[in-house]
Structure formats: structure tokens, C-alpha cells
Chains A and B, each alone.
Chain A
Amino acid sequence: MGKSYIIKQISIFSENRPGRLAAIASALRDARINIFAFSIAEANGFGVVRALVDRPEDAHRTLTDLGFRVSFTEVIGVRMRDEPGGLSEIAAVLGDAGVNIEYAYAYSGRDGAVLIVRVDQVEDAVRRILDCGGELLKASLFQ
């Protein structure tokens, strides 16, 4: 049950220099892979590009074949109301559920806003968020 809410995010190692995001994005474009959301985390000299895409397996293979260092990371997507207080409401749910956020990023689309979260105990987190009345994205959206 919990598994159906665990989403495969692709994470790509990238050097911190001009053109690297373009290289990743154009590879995904050429493979006709759609990106729902992404974020870049940066450190001194390198970064990690994280993305939710419609075909994670294909994206992984495409980028690996091009020589990128790629991994899957399990994340969850928590639906938010796209209006003042939306994030606050969800953050409170996560906090009350005792879920610690390692990192998060958000997007706002046709069906409202979504907070994408990486947590340490993902199945546990899914159960507690649902128990608290939170709404999660289905993994079946990302095949």
C-alpha cells in the first residue's frame, strides 16, 4: 500500500560549470522525456540535479549511456492547496507526524501544488502522512 506512493526521482551528479544543465536537459528532450519538477543542489564545485520525470527508467538509462552518474532516490509528493497557508498546513502535518525532511522542493501545476520531499523512513512517513489526512501523489504518475 505505502509503496504506491513512493516516487522514483532521478538524481544526476553535475559539475558546477556552464552548460551542464543544458546537457542534461537536451538529453532528456531528445529522449522525449517530460520533466515535472526539478531542483539543483549545489556545493563548492559540483551539484546534484534532482528531477521528477514521466519515465524515470528511460531517463536513467539515457543519461547513464551518455556518461552521467545517475541514481534513483525515493521521494514522496505531498499535495498542497495553492493558496496562502498551503505550505504551512502540509509542513504542520509532516511535523506532527514526526517526519524529518532531508530536502524538499515544490512545483505548482494544473492540479494544484506539490511538495516533493526526501525523508529518511519513507514507508513510515507515507503511512503517517495519510493517517494525518495528507494527500500524496501516486507513483503510477511516473512510469
Chain B
Amino acid sequence: MGCWNRNVEAIPPEDLREVQYKLVKSLVGRIYETSEFYRRRMKEQGVRPDDIGSLADLRKLPFMYKQDLRDTYPDGLFCAPKDELVRYHVSSGTTGKPTVVGYTRHDIENWSESLARAFSSCGIGRGDVLQVSYGYGLFTGGLGVHYGAERVGATVLPTSVGNTERQIELMQDLHTTAIACTPSYLLHMGEAAERMGVSIKDDTDLRVGFLGAEPWSEQMRGRIEDWLGIRAYDIYGTSELSGPMFTECSEQQGIHIWGDLAFVEVIDQETGEVLEPGERGEMVVTILQKEAFPLIRYRVGDITVLDDAPCACGRTHPRIQRIQGRVDDMLIVRGINVFPSQVEHALLEIPEVGRHFQIVVDRKGALDAMLVRVEVSEEAFSDKITDLMMIRKMVEHRLRGSLNVGVAVELVEPGSLPRFEGKSKKVVDRRSL
């Protein structure tokens, strides 16, 4: 199974829980001692480090929210002395103040270790050339993957994002075998390559993609794998947790969360109750070994399902399913919960329209009106207005079927929809409440 760290990755589940308990115990003791914030929180909750007598006792601690990170900007949550820090990353803060994450040397090593295990589980290591097409800089994606790839012995090609034609030339000239980027950027690269007369499938050595930092779907995976001739793996992480940390293994049956580095719970987003494995809810993460910026029961805001059954790959660490949406991405339209990812899934099954879309929600009188803008595909474009109207009606019908809410569809010119600018532009909510 190509383990990077077999003793840890295939640890018996009961031993893993014992390791996790010890780590939780020591973490809670450490943050109580070093952090004004955590000490106050725990006192408010009436919990002392001694109250942690089992792994389940972690539930005695309160949840942490993004707002806590904003309130303590820039460094109110740091638990290591300033001179121990070797790096900062800063999240973009599109919806509020940015979040600053600090790392000690040991934190960077654990982050790299996490990705080294992940890359190995997908057969990437020494002899591979990994092109890092995530942004380098304050964003965690570029440098995070970079260090993980170096750790595993791969050769890093740090192209960062943008300058797509040059990326494709370098991919050919330096024989890139794996790439890390957003799924939409890889699709963009595929299209750009074809315009240059290059088939990524036939004219490059690319065989693996680590795709993440934005939601994508199984259908999109199928399309990418068939079109580009690669295996596409989901990579997961957020800046608060360190950055990209976890991927699927070669089984492609969920993302392995290394239990000695992170403890994951899935909760009911309304009640906060911890759900059983197999139940869909909001992911809550405790980062177990972080020195500079630990997080306790942090509500990441991603919707997923936990799977603690052993994986066919032999690894015993629990898995999460592909992220199914964001708590804060969720739109409520006429009382129905709608995730943009549902729209994406539905559109991928309709060949008459492209995969890009934009959702516009407005309020007409007392009622919400949801509009989905899509591009007619080249194959389906007809110069007969009646044909185009039928496509529009059909897409409306299919979307209504999968979202359970009425949708109007607008056909727009190719290239006019947001491509890889991120999810914020995919939804425009014009309702003023």
C-alpha cells in the first residue's frame, strides 16, 4: 500500500484512540497553561484540564468559530512564544478580518509529514515531478504542498498560479507527473492546452492531480480523469488547520484524516450534537499537535460524512467524504436549502450546457427568485430559437427536479461566467432582508 509511515498509518484503531486521548489530554493541559483565551473559555464552561479522562471528554470543551479567530486578530490564539515561530500564513478574509496562522518548526514538519503520507498513498514520491499550481504567498496552498512534496522526495516545480501557457510548456519540458491545483484551474489548463494543440492526455506525462481548495464533484472527477488521462484525488485542508493536509488514497473512497494529527467530529449544525459515522453534518476539527496555533473543536463550516470503517488500502485512520458544501454557502430559497454544489452536479449531467454556472438569487415581491446562468455547449448550439428555448426549459426542469425549488435558467455567451475566481462569484445574492 506504499505507506510513508506504516507504523502510524496502519495502527490498530484502538491504539489510535489511545494515542488521540493522550494527545488531547496533553493539548488541553498545554493550552490552559499558555493561552489566556483558552483558559478563560474553559473557566466559563467550568472545565479544568483534569476533567479530561477519556477521548469523549473532549466534548466538554466549547466549540470555536471563525468569529473567535477574527476577534483575536492578529495573534490572540497563539500558544507558542513569538521567537519559536518560523512562518505566518494569512487567509484572505473575504467576509471579514483576515486570519493569521503561525507555525513553529515542528508545526511545519507535521504539516509536511501529513502531506507526505497523503502523496505516498496516491503513489507519488521520489522520481515524480509535482507541479504546484496553487498560489504561493500568504495563501497556504502553494507552500504547504511544496514542503510536503519535498518531504516525500518528489521534485517540485513551483509554478504557482497563472501564466497558463508557460505552465503547459513546463509541464511538457520537465515531464510533470503530478499537479496540485484547483479543479477549475486544471480544467482551464486542459482547455488552454488544447488551444495550443497540446493534449494533456497524449502529450504529457501527467498522471495524478491533487485537486482542492474549492468544491467539486464525482462527475467532475470522471470528466477530468477521462479527458486528461489522469487519476484525480481530492485534497483537503483550510488555512486554519494549517493548509492543505489530507488527501484520498489510491482507493478514492474518502479523504484520510490522520488521527494522530487531527481529531474530527461531525455534528448536527443546529443542535451541536455529535453525529454517528455515516451521518451528514458539519465537520468539527481539533488539531492535536499544533504548537503555535492549536484549535479545539473548531467549526470549519464544511459539510461532510465521517467514515471510520477500515479502508481497503489498509490504513486505519478515519475518512471524510468529499466536502458536500459549506454551512455558509448554503442558500435558503423559498425555505429550501440549496447548495451550489447541487447545481454543479445537476449541470454536469446535462451535455447541452457547459459546466460553469452562476446563481443569482433575488426577491420578487414576497418571493425569492432563483436564476441559474449557464452556457450553451458547442454541440448543442442551434441557430433556431425554438431549439434554444427547449434547452432552457429542459435545464430548468432538471434543476427543479434536483433542487426541489423552482429555477429560471438564462443562457449566456461562452466565457462570460466566472471560471476559477473562486466560489464567491458563483453565487450572487441580491436579496435585501
Contacts and interface: CB of A to CB of B under 8 A. Distances in A.
Given A15-B416, A67-B415, A43 B385 contact: yes
A23 to B, nearest CB: 9
Given A69-B381, A71-B381, A102-B384, A43 B415 contact: no
Interface string A1-28: 0000000010101110000100000000
A111 to B, nearest CB: 26
A84 to B, nearest CB: 31
Contact of B385 (A15, A20, A41, A67): A41
Contacts of A71: 381-383
Interface stretch (B7-15, B256-264, B405-413): B405-413
Nearest to B412: A15
A9 B381 CA distance: 14
B388 interface: yes
Contact of B413 (A11, A14, A43, A102): A14
A46 B381 contact: no
Nearest to B380: A69
Interface in A93-107: 102-103
A45 interface: yes
Interface residues of B, number: 17
B169 interface: no
A69 B378 contact: yes
B255 interface: no
Nearest to A9: B383
Contacts of B382: 71
A67 B389 contact: no
Contacts of B376: 13, 69
B384 A15 contact: no
B414 interface: yes
Interface string A61-105: 000000111110100000000000000000000000000001100
Interface string B376-400: 1010011111001100000000000
Contact of B388 (A20, A46, A73): A46
A95 to B, nearest CB: 21
A69 B413 contact: yes
A119 to B, nearest CB: 12
Interface residues of A, number: 23
A15 B388 contact: no
Given A43-B389, A46-B388, A73 B383 contact: yes
B383 A48 contact: yes
Nearest to A49: B383
B413 A45 contact: no
A12 B344 CA distance: 26
Contacts of B388: 13, 43, 46, 48
A15 B383 contact: no
Nearest to A20: B413
Nearest to A72: B383
Contacts of B389: 43
Contact of A67 (B383, B384, B414): B414
Contact of B383 (A20, A45, A50): A50
Contacts of A69: 375-376, 378, 381, 413-414
Contacts of A47: 385
Interface in B267-283: none
Given A46-B388, A69-B376, A11 B414 contact: no
Contacts of B384: 48, 102-103, 118
Contacts of B385: 41-43, 47-48
Interface of A: 9, 11, 13-15, 20, 41-43, 45-48, 50, 67-71, 73, 102-103, 118
By Cβ-Cβ distance, the 8 closest A-B pairs, closest first, are A11-B383, A67-B415, A73-B383, A69-B381, A46-B411, A43-B385, A48-B383, A41-B385
16 contacts: A11-B381, A13-B376, A13-B381, A15-B413, A41-B383, A41-B385, A43-B389, A45-B410, A46-B410, A47-B385, A48-B384, A48-B388, A68-B413, A71-B383, A73-B383, A102-B384
Given A11-B383, A13-B388, A46-B412, 11 more contacts: A11-B381, A13-B414, A14-B413, A41-B383, A45-B411, A46-B411, A48-B385, A69-B381, A70-B381, A103-B384, A118-B383
